[in-house]
Amino acid sequence: SRILSLDSNNVEILEDGKTINDVIDGKIKELSAVDNEEPFYVLSLDSMLKRHLRWLTNLPRVKPFYAMKCNNTPTVVRMLMALGTGFDCASKAEIQLALSLGVTPDKIIYAHTTKPMSHIRYACNHRVDVMTFDSEGELLKISLCHPQAKLVLRIAVDDSKSLVRLSSKFGARMSSVGKLLEQAGELGLEVIGVSFHVGSGCTGSLAYKQAIADARYVFDVASLLGFQMRLLDIGGGFSGIGDFQEKFEEFSEVINAALDKYFPPGSGVEVIAEPGRYYVESAFTLAVNVVAKRVVADERNSPDKAMMYYINDGVYGSMSCITFDPAHSKLEPYLHRAVDSSEPTYPSVIWGPTCDSIDKVTENYWMPELHVGEWLLIDNMGAYSVSVSTDFNSFERAPRSHSAWMILHYFDHFPPGHCGSTGKKVEKYSEGKAAWLQTGQDNPSAV
């Protein structure tokens, strides 16, 4: 049993009527009192919980294995561990982090098809057995470093309808799966399943239908070769914001229908997925400070002025998604303070703090005039932000654990009968400074 503790995770229970903006107000006042205007994140655990309930409702047969690469904030990992999810790890460091936070080896899939041999040995030594492969070379490495591994063959699928395409880099072609499975058998390795990934920002739900059908074909080939196939991993790329807000339910219907057709209940096949951004993208709000300002002439030589603002986070920090994540390439900062509807707006450029002109957050962005020292907020900053930020120019990364506040709203119990994939009861304690998300024992203790 695992418990999410208030004290060890910087969690605050919001009382009735208190909002995340109130929390941000308090954090800004706290920073001002110590002459600190560094950026910070606020995480809504309530948002993550709602996403989990939405997943359970729409994909009841599919167990989520959270993609650690998306956001490895310890509180995120502990929250999802308490909800009973598994974890998709892609490196030794991610496995180390998961294990250090209390994740058990059987809840980890080592989902990378090109692993360093030392990382495979580490997985072996720590009983992380389930891992993916897509080539003969990977099979040879695994046979040398972890011969008892339980292998999942990743196949390339049609990702032409996705904003982030992965099949050009990962996945075995259907024409090669027979040979790969034969080699696995010759090496004495155990293949237990198939995985695929249709890419992030997928706009065509039929990609899942075809991929699941392809996986069925591989299952049948493997069964003829004597493998006991029992795991299907349908990958990640799920979203729930912007244009994808309503697509999750649509995609779920297609996925469920395909699963019922090709892997019906009672077939003995466990189905998992690797959601990352789905859980955390909307849970994080980033607060940044305006550290400098320039008034510039409008390019059309009109009397209207234009603005340039410089903030203390940018594309080398939390906002690398602008450059590297086509599924989240547009940010919409807004003022933390109240804005009067009569305030004029001006075309504005917002720059990050570094000395590089690539460090541009947004341009031709109309907003009221800002002043140095004011704060901007950016929503939906949980995916591929904190996990890929750098300290280029030695600018401090936005804190995400010790000084950032983590929020847990009041919430109702899970639907009757089960509470997440653990099937255990979720309770809330809110006496004084004690608050836990409990999934097992009666006496709370921190993970």
Structure tokens at 35: 């002459």
Question: Angle CA(343)–CA(348)–CA(349) in degrees, nearest 5?
Answer: 155
**Cα 11 versus chain centre, distance:** 20
The CA distance from 138 to 150, in Å, is 13
Check 70, 89, 145, 355 and give the catalytic one.
Answer: 355
In the annotation, is 355 catalytic? yes
Structure tokens at 441: 């024992």
Residue for token digits 């720590």? 126
**Sign of the alpha-carbon torsion through 167, 359, 398, 369:** negative
Residues known to be catalytic: 355
